[in-house]
Structure 1
Amino acid sequence: MEIKKVMVIGAGQMGSGIAQVCAQAGYDVYLNDIKEESYAKGLAGITKNLSRSVEKERMTEDEKNDVLARITKSLNLEDAAHVDLVIEAAVENMEIKQSIFKKLDGIAQPHAILASNTSSLPITEIAAVTNRPEKVIGMHFMNPVPVMKLVEIIRGLATADEVYSAVEGMTKKLSKVPVEVNDFPGFVANRILMPMINEAIYTHYEGVASIEAIDDVMKLGMNHPMGPLQLADFIGLDTCLYIMETLHEGFGDSKYRPCPLLRKYVKAGWLGKKSGRGFYVYN
């Protein structure tokens, strides 16, 4: 099972990053989004990243242009008929993802693999709306994609061994490190990370320490490059809340209950860096 052409659905921060690393590894990539302006913004981000690499002499101008030439604009899911692998990087919502996968199942070639970049939703549930559950798999890239090495590869209940092997091999060609994970809420990364962030929010909510003090303890005492509350702002507090709710619902365990302060901030529109305010204020 050879992968030559790839479609990435969603030209946001994650999708554009995935498209960039695929194109840099020599794959022909359709970067798909429902909005022209979203595609343009995604491509501009890719171009900026590559230009920075040229400035730092990590690649030449010709190499940059070759990478960009391998990226094709797509505003229609019908383009999935031309690829061997689709990587969906749309919004983290089960209904939306199932809708996309149901459409893809009717468009993509029978041999094509359908992958989701979901950070917490069950692959088995996404695969259930298709007639090819054995060809559905999770590829959870880390943010920022061009920099971070890890890709969690998640097997659904029916994922075939040859599909896993093909995706694992392709991940290595992207100069990433694939780690095999089974299909449980939050997988490994977010099952461990998000409760830590949630506990840090509880620690502030209960008046144990200030925001800055909590982050300093984790940076200076645990050698974390970024404190958990600052990290939450960068991830997006709405995303953190959604993942905690997924964990809470999936396991039915009170230890995953989202902190009331997290809910309050999200309701207030304080979503972190992207909205200008979260636990910290951003200009």
Structure 2
Amino acid sequence: MAIQKATVVGAGQMGSGIAQTLAHSGIEVTLYDLDRSAVDRGIKLISTSLNRLVSRGKTTDELRLQLLDRIIPATDFDRTQDTELVIEAVTECMETKQRIFAQLDQICMPHTILASNTSSLSITELGSATNRAPFVIGMHFMNPVPIMPLVEIIRGLETSNETFERIQILSQQLGKTPVEVKDFPGFVSNRILMPMINEAIFTVYEGVAEPEAVDQVMKLGMNHPMGPIALADFIGLDTCLAIMETLYHGFGDSKYRPCPLLRKYVQAGWLGKKTGRGFYRYS
């Protein structure tokens, strides 16, 4: 049965992109965050994205208004009581995510699917915070969500076939290509991507090259659309560090050790594009 009502928990860049994508497919979406200002920022991100599509002739103003009408702001979990799917998109912290999943487990209908947009954390461990592990699954979107076609679908140890199939069908309805991966740290995407970014930062740390040079080598020599240093800034250096920590502790292998320079930038609050400064400066 097609999903008609969904909730997105976390109104940041990923959460707002997921909400926009769901609404574009005709799904009524509740966009939740802790306070109204965070939700308002999420709605503004969606509105800006839709305005850009209208200006480029990719959609109409009428459709833009219809999409916005399908997205309902919320600052409490009351509206999740009758939702069929919750997609969590909060900070990459297991303790925070487990607390949210435990709350949702008490509020949502017994058959509501709880999905996480986690980019590296264990779906099995998230499911253990609930009494509905068969209905817990990973649904890892790529950034920017409305544009990127991939969704990694991650089964936990107890995720049911029915849950997997419903999320696979939903992903296709959203115009995405779902790819099933096993529940290992970093899954496939970030197990490959993040060590490359980390190694690129090591080349800066060790004085091999400046960030601009590293990015040029990978763009011009390897045909990457964006250099790894610029990509790290775009993703958020705090997110990159959190994923590297997950890989490092999850596998116990020194090859995943986060670069000290990455750690230092995060400690300084230089998180990349979202804070105006990372390896590059942003106005």
Shorter-chain TM-score range: over 0.9
Letter in 1 for 2:197: I
Letter aligned with residue 182 of structure 2: N
**In the alignment, what sits opposite 2:162?**
162
Query: Where has structure 1 moved over 3 Å in runs of 4 or more?
Result: none
Q: Secondary structure at the match of 1:265?
A: helix
Q: Cα offset for 1:55?
A: 1.7
| Separation in 1, partners of 2:136, 2:151 | 16
SS in 1 for 2:181: strand
Q: How does 1:143-154 map to 2 (within 5 A)?
A: 143-154=143-154
- 1:74 Cα deviation after fit: 1.4
- Paired AA for residue 139 in structure 1: M
CA apart distance, 1:2: 3.5
In structure 2, runs of 5+ residues without a counterpart are none
1:146-225 alignment, distance < 5 Å: 146-225=146-225
CA separation in 1, counterparts of 2:78 and 2:122? Answer: 25
The residue type equivalent to 1:266 in the other structure is V
What amino acid sits opposite 1:263 in the alignment? R
Q: Distance in 2 between matches of 1:124 and 1:201?
A: 31
**Aligned equivalent of 2:18:** 18
User: How far apart, in 1, do the equivalents of 2:47 and 2:120 lie?
Assistant: 29
What is the alpha-carbon distance in structure 1 between the residues aligned to residue 274 and residue 3 of structure 2?
A: 35
Structure 1 match to 2:279: 279
Give the fraction of aligned pairs with identical amino acids, expressed as a percent: 61
Q: Deviations over 1:165-216 (max 9, x none)?
A: 0000001111111110110000111100000000111111112222211111
Unpaired stretches in structure 1, ≥5 consecutive residues: none
2:99 and 2:193 map into 1 onto residues whose CA distance is 28
CA deviations 1:56-108 (Å, max 9, x no partner) are 22222211111111111211112111110000011111111000000111111
Instruction: Select between 191-200 and 1-10 the one with higher mean Cα deviation.
Output: 1-10
Cα distance between partner residues in 2 of 1:73 and 1:281: 32
Counterpart secondary structure, 2:100 = helix
Alpha-carbon offset, residue 281 of structure 1 = 1.7
Aligned to 1:88: 88
Q: Paired residue for 2:132?
A: 132
- 1:122 partner letter: S
Aligned counterparts of 2:154 and 2:98: Cα–Cα separation in 1: 17
The alignment partner of 1:115 has SS state of strand
1:258 counterpart residue number: 258
CA distance in 2, matches of 1:117, 1:215: 28
Q: Which moved more, 1:224-233 or 1:1-10?
A: 1-10
Residue 229 of structure 2 is matched in structure 1 by 229
* TM-score, L = length of structure 2: 0.98
Query: How far 1:15 moved relative to its partner?
Result: 0.5
Which residue of structure 1 aligns with residue 60 of structure 2? Answer: 60
CA distance in 1, matches of 2:232, 2:59: 33
- Map 1:50-129; keep pairs closer than 5 Å: 50-129=50-129
2:45 maps to what in 1? 45
CA RMSD of aligned residues (A): 1.0
User: Which whole-Å CA distance do the structure 1 matches of 2:223 and 2:275 have between them?
Assistant: 28
Cα displacement (A) at 1:277: 1.6
Measure the CA separation in 1 of the matches of 2:200 and 2:112.
42
CA distance in structure 1 between the partners assigned to 2:282 and 2:100 by the alignment: 34
**Cα shift at 1:251:** 0.2
- Measure the CA separation in 1 of the matches of 2:265 and 2:91: 20
